[in-house]
Amino acid sequence: MATRPTDLTDTLTKSSTAIERVGETVVSPITGLAFWTAIALPFLHLPLLLLTGLSSSGTATAFVVLLAANIVALLVGHPHYRE
């Protein structure tokens, strides 16, 4: 009976380590994708502004959506490869 707490502690430690590994496996590609998306999105803003300006409401909406997507990508991708 004295070995049960040790077994439980070992199991909890192993579970915690496994959860951390799964978290790293899932989070790392997401932050990487967001990081590179934040770098690439401004290249969509520039042609949109140069070719059409913000004269129509559809173009202005597209610009605002791209800007918002860029901000979200910056926030999500910020921890990519930070130590």
Give residue-wise pLDDT tens across range 31-78: 888 989 999 988 888 887 888 888 888 888 988 898 999 999 999 888
First to last CA, the chain: 43
Burial class from Cβ neighbours inside 10 Å (0-12, 13-18, 19+) for residue 6 reads: exposed
Overall average pLDDT of the 12-17 stretch: 65
* pTM (predicted TM-score): 0.66
Give the model's pLDDT for residue 30.
Answer: 86
Map out the domains of the chain as residue ranges.
Answer: 4-77
